[in-house]
């Protein structure tokens, strides 16, 4: 049986739409964009969120940054603990790379240079940002861990170290350069 079990021509009810498990909340296109603030996207409707990032930038030295907006819409720029880490698999599994532990943002990895247009791709799970009494954490696989080396990839993870409500997020980069690509946010229905 197909799920959801909709019939051709059927008028969809709110209950039917609410049964859909993964819902696109926002889609943002970067075109020489240094940062994007995506506000009022987290809510009580969903507990967990899927952030799909596909961006390349104008400098290989960039670290792509994820930060959260508090319940007033103010960007939080301290109190994180996060890193992007992985391997350069052209040189073997023992060649580990990391952005190092960061406390002012959550690193998503290194967006590659404009010249080769190899985007950083990241699939990031953000856990319960709307809860006011738990820490907001994120984790997921990503490419581009080693500053422009094409044969590399790994993970990103991070936590905002105080329990508080977050209503949105911001994507930016440490070199403040223009990025190209898309950032899409989805909500997971419980």
Binding site for other proteins (CB under 8 A): 25-26, 28, 30-41, 58-62, 88, 90-91, 112-116, 118, 147-151, 168, 174-179
Q: Are 146 and 60 in contact (CB under 8 A)?
A: no
Nearer to other proteins, 113 or 122 (CB): 113
Nearer residue to other proteins within complex by CB, 33 or 137? 33
CB of 53 to other proteins, least distance (A): 14
Residue 98 tokens, joined: 């990391």
Chain centroid to CA 61:
19
Q: Which is nearer to other proteins, 34 or 161 (CB)?
A: 34
Compute the least distance from the CB of residue 70 to other proteins, in Å.
Answer: 15
Instruction: Give backbone dihedrals phi and psi of 5, rounded to 5 degrees, phi first.
Output: -90, 70
Minimum distance from CB of 23 to other proteins (Å)?
A: 12
Instruction: Return the beta strands (E) in 72-178 as ranges.
Output: 80-88, 96-98, 106-109, 120-127, 137-143, 152-160, 166-173
Within 13 Å of residue 107, how many CA atoms lie on the same side as its CB?
28
Question: 157 or 173, CB closer to other proteins?
Answer: 173
DSSP category for residue 113: P
Residue 26 CB, nearest distance to other proteins (Å)?
Answer: 6
What's the min distance (Å) between Cβ of 127 and other proteins? 19
Radius of gyration of the chain, Cα coordinates, nearest whole angstrom? 18
Report which DSSP code applies to 75.
Answer: B
Please give the Cα distance from 42 to 56 (Å, whole number).
25
Q: Which of residues 155 and 175 has its CB atom nearest to other proteins in the complex?
A: 175
């Amino acid at each position: 049986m197909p799920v959801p079990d909709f019939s051709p021509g059927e008028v969809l009810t709110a209950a039917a739409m609410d049964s859909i498990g993964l819902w696109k909340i926002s889609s943002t296109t970067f075109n020489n964009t240094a940062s994007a603030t995506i506000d009022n996207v987290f809510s009580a409707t969903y507990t967990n969120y899927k952030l799909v990032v596909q961006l390349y930038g104008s400098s290989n030295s960039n670290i792509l940054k994820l930060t959260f907006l508090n319940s007033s819409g103010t960007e939080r720029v301290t109190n994180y603990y996060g890193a992007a880490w992985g391997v350069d698999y052209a040189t073997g599994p023992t060649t580990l790379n990391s952005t190092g532990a960061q406390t002012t943002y959550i690193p998503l990895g290194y967006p590659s240079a404009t010249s080769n247009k190899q985007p950083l791709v990241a699939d990031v799970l953000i856990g319960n940002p709307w809860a006011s009494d738990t820490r907001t954490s994120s984790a997921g696989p990503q490419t581009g861990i080693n500053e422009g080396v094409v044969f590399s990839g790994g993970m990103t993870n991070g936590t905002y170290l105080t329990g508080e409500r977050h209503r949105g997020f911001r994507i930016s980069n440490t070199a403040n350069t223009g990025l190209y690509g898309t950032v899409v946010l989805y909500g997971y229905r419980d």
